[in-house]
Amino acid sequence: MSNRIHPTAVVGPEVTLGEDNVIGPYCVLQGRVTLGDGNYLASHVVIGGAAEVRGHDMTASWEEPFDGNPVLVGSRNVFKEMVTVSGGWAHETSVGDDGFFMTKAHVNHDGRIGDEVTLSAMVVTAGHVTVGDGANLGLGTVVHQRLTVGDGAMIGMQSAVTRELPPFVVSMGVPARAARLNTYRLDRLGVATDQHEPLAAVVLHGSHDTSALQHPLRAPVEAWLARLSAH
């Protein structure tokens, strides 16, 4: 199906669109932006352009060639009013598939947002932040630059993420701290309940033994442990 683009929207010359995208009033897609299929952009959504970095060249990237890094957006994402996704700086900014981005959510430069991610209203992910598949960030949460929110994590509203938080866990607070397993996400993934105890031993109680963990838990948990050891 063809794309539906409101007459007031601005789509720059270097933007590549798939099929069946809806681009609403006063949206701006600028610079090297690629959208997959079936994305919905409400109104005043801004994707691409110069990275949000002091000293970065600011150009009229909605109408002239742009030499910055791109924004790559997958398919079937929903971007509600005034969502912003900044262009890349060191590398591209990327958004996966099937995400839901609520009003005024912001993805900063070089962000990597996975599949099935929810960013609630006014969530801010700083530069170089990675958000894993299936993560859900509550209203007004802020994530410090260069951190990773693990797969299947849920972050409570108004939290400040200042450290590497474990996957498949509910975390909350200022600063955010791990509280309990995200059983809602585990159930959606079809994880057997006998996996809960060995998972909790690692992500909540300090064990490094992942031998009892099965797919899809082991790889994200081991990646989190590796990030902890690197800090």
Measured between its terminal Cα atoms, the distance across the chain in Å is 47
What pLDDT, on a 0 to 100 scale, did the predictor assign at position 15? Answer: 95
What pLDDT, on a 0 to 100 scale, did the predictor assign at position 61? Answer: 62
Express each pLDDT in 176-211 by its tens digit: 999 999 999 999 999 999 999 999 999 999 999 999
Q: Which of 162, 165, 167, 160 is nearest to 185 (CA)?
A: 167
Q: Is residue 21 part of a domain?
A: yes
Q: Which residues contact 74 (CB under 8 A, 6 or more apart)?
A: 36, 95, 96, 97, 98, 99, 115
What pLDDT, on a 0 to 100 scale, did the predictor assign at position 187? Answer: 98
Q: Is residue 208 part of a domain?
A: no
What pLDDT, on a 0 to 100 scale, did the predictor assign at position 63? Answer: 66
User: What mean pLDDT, rounded, does the chain reach?
Assistant: 95
As a whole number of angstroms, the distance between CA 23 and CA 5 comes to 5
What is the pTM assigned to this prediction?
0.94
The CATH number given to whatever domain includes residue 163 is 2.160.10.10
Express each pLDDT in 12-62 by its tens digit: 999 999 999 999 999 999 999 999 999 999 999 999 988 777 666 667 666
Q: Is residue 228 part of a domain?
A: no
Q: Is residue 209 part of a domain?
A: no
Express each pLDDT in 105-160 by its tens digit: 999 999 999 999 999 999 999 999 999 999 999 999 999 999 999 999 999 999 99
* Mean pLDDT along residues 168-175: 98
Q: Is residue 221 part of a domain?
A: no
The range of the structural domain enclosing residue 79 comes to: 4-182
**Residue 76: CB atoms within 10 Å:** 17
Q: Is residue 88 part of a domain?
A: yes
Number of domains in the chain: 1
Q: pLDDT at residue 74 above 70?
A: yes
Q: Is residue 14 part of a domain?
A: yes
